[in-house]
A and B are shown apart, each in its own frame.
Chain A
């Protein structure tokens, strides 16, 4: 029973992080309908910037966190400006291939810069925030990850609901041409969605790095695990991304715990194929019926 609860807790916290990572992905997809295959690399980039700031520049944790997020924000802008802007209006196939190319570039560059080793952040979380509830022990990392996940979820909810930029982004997602004709600066919205997505990705990268240690290969494979999450939740639903993340996270930890650890990484993709066959628009996605 203890084992079960421990898995449950781990699954939920990992799931929140998957959800967060997926949120950035959904944001890009919603505003510009680009499937971002470089999302895992954005995650890894944020985590490595944070690592460099903490261990090499010796910044305090909070400052390093803020600087890493700001850096990723700018990084997202730059990616959009350099690579995606020239392709606006080109067939989708080129844009998807482009993100595959970008992913390869970043992964290669990060491997050259930091190597394929596993790094661990210096221990900075106070043990006091860990929760011990009966026999179930919740490690500080999991508390932090869940809290960060919840906080950002609420923040993004508010951002999309009330801020003018958030409303612009929703309008572009809804109908690009109509938004354009009503005076929304669509290109700026694209850039902003990339920047925000990079920032969110960096944050989930940092927290995942605290849990598992950081390694280019591991973190960039998370970027591919985002696909089962978003397909399950619905490609264009931010709430769905979180729910999908939780389901996939739980599924993974339970498979790893009860069946076999090696199956753990493949189960999400098996689910993915199943969902694609049965309910391709996911749990909360927009149902687009087009029979061709």
Chain B
């Protein structure tokens, strides 16, 4: 390995160790350490919450819920996987569960979606890419499946389990999402 490679490797090992120390301090109840962990990961957590909810206010509330529940769950983190990967799964599950609680039963039963409202809100946001604007306009289930599969890299089997749906339904929602994006991006 060359010198630059060694430096990168040493930096990475140092970062891993300081993260392990930080997590260990949080597990023992250090709230300052938890604030540092929050500052480190809020971008990742909020980014995922926003993509899943397509609503700024819901994403903020869901992010708070993630960090409240994370405090209760982090004692179970044993370091078997990368913390960011573990946090990612925790965030996805909590946000989906949060969305379920927020959306009224009637609305979900009749599949009434406020996608146009989301789209209008997304259209006003200047920091979103063209793709993000289209994704925010997708129907809720199609959007969640698309975000988890295409952007976050989850398998349909995992998504089906998270969303309590059949694997075939996850694939169908993904196909629906792609068809709508194709149309909105001017390919049809």
Q: A and B from one assembly?
A: no
Binding site for B on A (CB under 8 A): none
Q: Tell me the B residues contacting A by CB distance below 8 Å.
A: none
